[in-house]
Amino acid sequence: MKVIKRISIVGTGNVAYHLGRALLKNNFQVDGVWGRTKANAQKLARDLNTISFDQLIQLPENSDLIIICVSDGAIQEIVEKIPSSFALAYTSGSISLNDLPKRDNIGVFYPLQTFTKSRDISFDTIPVLIESKNDQFAESLKKCASKLSRTVRFTNSEERFQIHIAAVMVNNFTNHLYHLADLHMKKHQLPFDILKPLIIETAEKIKDISPIDAQTGPAKRNDLSVIENHLNELSDETKEIYQLLSKSILKNNS
Amino acid sequence: MKVIKRISIVGTGNVAYHLGRALLKNNFQVDGVWGRTKANAQKLARDLNTISFDQLIQLPENSDLIIICVSDGAIQEIVEKIPSSFALAYTSGSISLNDLPKRDNIGVFYPLQTFTKSRDISFDTIPVLIESKNDQFAESLKKCASKLSRTVRFTNSEERFQIHIAAVMVNNFTNHLYHLADLHMKKHQLPFDILKPLIIETAEKIKDISPIDAQTGPAKRNDLSVIENHLNELSDETKEIYQLLSKSILKNNS
């Protein structure tokens, strides 16, 4: 099993930034950064105390691993452009290994988290899902990930796909509900801030209690008159969403 | 303005329990507890180191305040049964003061939080919304709430109603998405636990970033092919919910 020590990063978004910082912090050598937009690559290179490349063919041969942190639609093209001598990992939740060109050392290194550049995050709490058809390489990736995170798990493409669906539900959709609540509060000149302790506690609760047992509120109590009053106040898609989610909670009561 | 020192509690649910504990911790005297079910009242009385009453007419006359922590549908009946000499507050997000019998000292003491008996919570971070048509009594309630919480706010019934709608969205609906994700993970023999860091971070993020700026994921990226692949995996109401929420996020992009 090859030990991964030197890494180059392809991509300059939120994942590239936070993964790069975690690598540096854990004493990996970040050889360099490539990005489609030169200025972004230069900026990330500065943040990671390394150099940037203009061309993918300039990636340094002594890097043990190239981590590809680009949007799903760009992964295939990037993989095709990187010489086959390089070992590659990509950070996508959706793209199956079967959809990419076969090569000896290619794998998945998927940190299951939502990243924003402006917000620090402890990488060691983030589950990292590892996959490769090459068992030796999978072990190398796992060992590398284990230096960054306490939770590393071999996960095949099908499992990763299912986990990604669940992640969309608990992250993207939940955050969208925060946004709709924010709009609702603004509409009534009320401060969104007052909801923040409730938002935090709703999430913290599931550390101890399963979501089905944590449920409270009018739909859980079969309180149809409160639901009706709320629906009469809402319009458009917020009303539709309120209706559909209440119906789904009510269904659980029966 | 009358200073509230001695309190009796009507109701034995999660709110009664956590509010009672917070009152004790902040050196209020809890004179006693009444509950529809005798055994529950006795149990809560033991937890709060006080006594229980079988009848509402037994509520001790020297209590400065009776806090009514019962379900919305039971509030009116309870208010009617308590002698008019008592000052009352109730803890509901939905019930308007106008829907209850008029009396000199009646008000709202609404802690905006989700409570579960089995989970400790710091009451001092919970916003408490106060309302009364009697300004003096409103001040008394505010002063009492300020001993328990750092965030106390006068809020009229209309505002409280709107806040309650937003609270249902960020708590009940968000928690229901956790539940649907839990079912999805179970269906595919995957551990729900692996989603917990993502759930926590999704909530924590909005401390620093507005929800609209925090959004990520396939709908935000206009990635219709990922959305389509996910929808093909889902069925029933989870599919409907995925579709509706994705549509709503996509609408924000345009």
In 10 A of CB A12, how many CB atoms?
26
Cβ–Cβ < 8 Å for B217, A149:
no
Instruction: Choose the closest CB to B198 out of A167, A181, A198.
Output: A167
CA distance B159 to chain A (A): 8
Mean pLDDT of A10-30: 97
Flag whether pLDDT at A1 surpasses 80. no
CA-nearest residue to A238 within chain B is: B248
Residue of A nearest to B246 (CA): A173
pLDDT of residue A184: 98
Percent of chain A with pLDDT over 70: 100
Token pair for B130: 């106060």
- C-beta atoms surrounding A99 within 10 Å: 11
Confidence of residue A124 (pLDDT cuts 50, 70, 90): very high
Q: Which candidate from B166, B197, B241 shows the least CB-CB separation from A244?
A: B241
pLDDT tens-digit map of A191-226 = 999 999 999 999 999 999 999 999 989 999 899 999
- Position A117 scores a pLDDT of 83
For residue A72, pLDDT over 80 is answered with yes
SS3 call for A19: helix
Q: How far is A167 from chain B (nearest CA, A)?
A: 7
Q: Let me know how long chain A is.
A: 254
Other CB atoms within 10 A of residue A72 CB: 17
Query: Which pLDDT value is given to residue B117?
Result: 83
Give the DSSP letter string of B48-82: TTSEEESSGGGS-TT-SEEEE-S-HHHHHHHHHHS
Mean pLDDT, rounded, of chain A: 96
- Give B-chain residues touching A250 at CB under 8 angstroms: none
Measure Cα distances from A140 to A9, A63, A86, A110, A144 in Å: 17, 14, 14, 15, 6
Q: What is the DSSP letter of A129?
A: E
Res A2: pLDDT: 87
Position A149 scores a pLDDT of: 98
What pLDDT score was predicted for residue B157?
Answer: 94
pLDDT at B116: 86
Strand intervals (E) in chain B: 6-10, 29-34, 51-53, 65-68, 88-90, 106-111, 128-132, 152-154
Q: For residues B14 and B31, give the distance between their C-alpha atoms in angstroms, rounded to a whole number.
A: 19
| pLDDT tens string B93-133 | 989 999 999 999 999 999 999 998 888 999 999 999 999 99
Query: What's residue A80's pLDDT?
Result: 96
Task: Answer whether B159 sits within 8 Å of A190, measured CB to CB.
Answer: yes
The pLDDT value recorded for residue B2 is 87
Radius of gyration, CA atoms only, chain A: 22
Where does the pLDDT of residue A253 fall: very low under 50, low under 70, confident under 90, or very high at 90 and above? confident
- Residue B252 vs residue A136, higher pLDDT: A136
Beta strand A88-90 with A6-10 is unpaired
Contact criterion met (CB below 8 Å) for A37 and A13: no
Evaluate whether B140 touches B2 at the Cβ level (below 8 Å). yes
B173 bridge partner residues: none
pLDDT tens-place string over residues A188-198: 999 999 999 99
The arithmetic mean of pLDDT across residues A173-194, rounded, is 98
Torsional sign, CA B111, B113, B114, B115: negative
How far apart are the C-alpha atoms of A234 and A21, rounded to whole Å? 44
Burial of A97 (0-12, 13-18, 19+ CB in 10 A): middle
Give chain B positions within 8 Å (CB) of A98: none
pLDDT score, position B1:
77
Give me Rg for the CA atoms of chain B. Answer: 22
Spatial separation of the C-alpha atoms in residues A14 and A36, rounded to whole Å: 15
Question: Å from B110 to nearest chain A CA?
Answer: 12
Task: Note the ipTM here.
Answer: 0.94
Mutation to test the B interface, candidates A18, A112, A124, A172, most B Cβ within 10 Å? A172
pLDDT at A254: 75
The partner residue sitting opposite A215, judged by closest CB among B125, B151, B172, is: B172
How far is the alpha carbon of B180 from chain A, nearest alpha carbon, in Å? 8
Q: Tell me the pLDDT of chain B (254 aa) as tens digits.
A: 789 999 999 999 999 999 999 999 999 999 999 999 999 999 999 999 999 999 999 999 999 999 999 988 899 999 999 999 999 999 999 899 999 999 999 999 999 999 988 889 999 999 999 999 999 999 999 999 999 999 999 999 999 999 999 999 999 999 999 999 999 999 999 999 999 999 999 999 999 999 999 998 999 989 999 999 999 999 999 999 999 999 999 998 87
Which residue of chain B comes nearest to A129, CA vs CA? Answer: B194
Measured between CA atoms, the residue of chain B closest to residue A154 is B190
